Amino acid sequence: MWSWDAFFSILTSKQLLEGAWVTIWLTVVSMVLGLMLAVVVAAARSSRWWILRAIVGFYVWLMRGTPLLVQLVIIYTGLPQVGIKLGVIESALLGLVLNEAAYLSEIVRSGLMSVPAGQTEAARALGMSPFKVFRVVVLPQAFRVMIPPLGNSFNGLLKTTTLVSVISVQELLRRTQFLVQVNFRVLEGLCAAALYFLVLTTLWGMIQRVLEARAGRGYDRNYKRKNNSGDAKVAESAQLAEAVNR
């Protein structure tokens, strides 16, 4: 029979709160490091050197084509056989970062490609350095496009962290399993863990909406309709740059 006392006891237990905190920081750190690696991978996939494109292409193919659970087990139990010994936290972070970066790299690459090349050319014609072009022109527009898929990836990663319980990371699900083994209340324990995840994903959804609204400020949705001649706009900017240079 369902026991509300057992449910609230598990829900408010210190062990579950500590597990929720581990889940949060594990998600945030994995997302940040994965995004940094994804930018490097996306840049490498756009490189002129075919061998570099082949290497990162193989990495993306491998990470996206094999289950994360298998990758975690291989990292935790397989690497020590070749002399590389990692703790459970290091193994979990390495597995999550490598797997997440493979997916995020496609989001980053598509976001950068969404910015019209004409704007980059016009900015360079105005005398901007490549770094300034990327920082001022490309990145703000690409970031606005990337926020929704990046937010969904963070939401998914928040729940994917449950897989690291297989290698004994003391996150939310692992702590729930310990509590269930003590009081034998499986349904109450899993429902309590599910409620934690529901609250965390709901809070993240609110943060994501704020980020999307902030990134979309000043963006006219009818801009493309009013200015459907993008080439004319580029030509206009180039003419202005030529006049300034003269």
Reported pTM? 0.82
Of residues 68 and 227, more confidently modeled = 68
Q: Helices 14-45 & 88-113, crossing angle to 10 degrees?
A: 50
Domains and CATH numbers, the chain: 4-218 (1.10.3720.10)
User: Which of 18-22, 118-122, 194-198, 242-246 is the least confident region?
Assistant: 242-246
- Residue 50's Cβ-side half-sphere holds a number of Cα atoms within 13 Å equal to 0
Largest CA distance in the chain: 84
